[in-house]
Amino acid sequence: MTDILGLHHYAIRAVDWDATVKFYVEGLGFEMVYPWTFEPLIKKSAFLRAPGGGFIEVFGSDDDAAGAPENSVKTAPFDGKVEPGIVHVALKAASPESVDRVVARAVAAGATVHTEPQGRELVGEPNLPFRIAMIMGLDGEVIEICHNGQIDV
């Protein structure tokens, strides 16, 4: 069994969340599939499904979307700035245990751990438990390793 099943999503921080979601839905044909929150760090976010598959995750700019280093990520290289644009790329793990194995292999290959593997829950309809870790690649790119077995978002 492989530990990574593919690219899951990329995340962006929007200057105007409502306008950005409208742009992707009405302008580009994406579908809103899972709006969620993670209080107090993230007040407004959603997964949008692209036509033909794949997702983007849109954070509101008034959030500390991606929060303090012990909670999630800001902009690479974790300089404390909260700016609009691409926040991270997420890889879909095959299982909760795969998250841990992928992080261990990535660190052995030179990555830096930003957020240790941990369980979390997004608040939405329904609530979404998942396992997540955040690493920095060799060139400063922010990579999320995530697994959720309930909803394909």
pLDDT of residue 62: 65
- DSSP helix/strand/coil, 108: helix
| Token pair of 38 as six digits | 């993670």
pLDDT of residue 76: 41
Instruction: For tokens 């008034």, name the residue.
Output: 62
Domain boundaries, the chain: 4-147
CATH number of 4-147: 3.10.180.10
Average pLDDT, integer, range 97-103: 95
Query: What is the Cα–Cα distance from 100 to 94, expressed in whole angstroms?
Result: 11
- 48-73: per-residue pLDDT in tens? 999 888 899 998 876 544 443 343 44
Bigger pLDDT: 11 vs 80:
11
| Token pair of 35 as six digits | 């709006």
Query: What is the Cα–Cα distance from 66 to 82, expressed in whole angstroms?
Result: 8
Which of 1-10, 41-50, 60-69, 96-105 is modeled with the greatest confidence?
A: 96-105
* Cβ proximity of 91 and 146 under 8 Å: yes
Phi first, then psi: give them for residue 146, nearest 5 degrees: -135, 150
Instruction: For tokens 């007040």, name the residue.
Output: 43
pLDDT of residue 82: 62
* Cβ proximity of 39 and 123 under 8 Å: yes
Average pLDDT, integer, range 19-28: 91
Q: What Rg value do the Cα atoms of the chain yield, rounded?
A: 15
- DSSP helix/strand/coil, 106: helix
Phi first, then psi: give them for residue 18, nearest 5 degrees: -60, -45
pLDDT of residue 72: 41
Q: Is the pLDDT of residue 79 over 60?
A: no
- Res. 25 pLDDT band, cuts 50 70 90: very high
